[in-house]
Amino acid sequence: MAQHTPKKWGPAPYEITFSTGEHSTVILNGRVRWAIEELRKAGKAGRTGREALGPRWAAYIWDAIHTHGIPIRSEWERHGGEHAGRHKRWFLDCEIHPACRVVGGDT
């Protein structure tokens, strides 16, 4: 019988602390979870789709905001190169971290 190995970006609870001090827990998985981890790593510098190298970065951010209620702000910025133009940089506007999950045992 094969042993089940959890997926690296499988469902996991995350605790959000809003600027008001209120808390909420959401379950994130897949590319949305990955995008939130990228924003967490970036800290105050934020991330662009170019830096994160996500094929649909804006869609993952949209989902995090509109489906999961995670406060994320964006700013337009200019960039150079062969195809110069503008892109957005996204920043977490909250504290968010993986929530501790107790499996079995006493609390």
Alpha helices in 53-99 (DSSP H): 57-66
Q: Can you tell me whether residue 50 is helix, strand or coil?
A: helix
Per-residue confidence (pLDDT) for residue 105, from 0 to 100: 47
Report, as ranges of residue numbers, the positions in the chain whose pLDDT lies below 70.
1-6, 101-107
Cβ 16 vs Cβ 23: under 8 Å: yes
Q: Name the nearest CA neighbour of 72 among 29, 40, 107.
A: 40
Per-residue confidence (pLDDT) for residue 100, from 0 to 100: 76
